[in-house]
Amino acid sequence: MDENLLARARAWLAQDPDGATRDELSGLIEKAEAGDADAAADLADRFAGRLAFGTAGLRGRLGAGSNRMNRVLVAQAAAGFAAYLNEKAGPDAPPAVVIGYDGRRNSQVFASDSAELFAGAGLRAILLPRLLPTPVLAFAVRHLGADAGVMVTASHNPPDDNGYKVYLGGPDHGSQIVSPADAEIAAHIQRIADGHPVSELPRSAGYETAPESLIDDYIAATAAVAPAPDGADGLRWVYTAMHGVGWQTARRVFEAAGYAAPTPVQAQIEPDGTFPTVAFPNPEEPGAMDLAFQTARDADAELVIANDPDADRLAVGIPTPDGWRRLTGNEVGLLLGWRAARDASGHGTLACSLVSSPGLEAVARHYGLEFAATLTGFKWISRAPDLVYGYEEALGYLVDPDVVRDKDGISAAVAMLQLACEARAQGRTLADLLDEFADTFGAFASDQISLRVDDLSVIGRIMAALRADPPTRVGELEVSAVEDFADGRDGLPPADVLRLRVAGDARVLVRPSGTEPKLKAYLDVRGESAQDAASRLAALRDGVQALLDGLQ
The per-residue DSSP string of 426-484 comes to: TT--HHHHHHHHHHHH-EEEEEEEEEE-SSTHHHHHHHHHHHHS--SEETTEEEEEEEE
State the pairing for strand pair 208-209/370-374: unpaired
Q: For residue 433, what are the CA distances in angstroms to 113, 290, 378, 424, 439?
A: 48, 24, 26, 11, 10
- Distance (Å, whole) CA 38 – CA 27: 12
CA-based torsion, 61, 159, 246, 352: positive or negative: positive
Those residues with Cβ within 8 angstroms of residue 449's Cβ, 6 or more apart along the chain or in another chain? 520, 521, 523, 541, 544, 545, 548
To 10 degrees, the CA torsion angle through 56, 62, 68, 72? 100
- Distance (Å, whole) CA 215 – CA 221: 10
Q: Which residues pair with 17 in a beta bridge?
A: none
Nearest to 186, CA basis, from 69, 283, 52: 52
Contact 125, 97 (CB under 8 A): yes
From 114, 155, 357, 411, active-site residue: 155
Nearest to 48, CA basis, from 9, 3, 1: 9
To 10 degrees, the CA torsion angle through 374, 378, 380, 386? 90
Q: At what angle do helices 329-343 and 430-441 cross, to 10 degrees?
A: 70
10 Å CB burial of residue 306 (0-12, 13-18, 19+) is buried
10 Å CB burial of residue 26 (0-12, 13-18, 19+) is middle
- Is there a catalytic annotation at residue 155? yes
Give the residue numbers marked as catalytic. 155
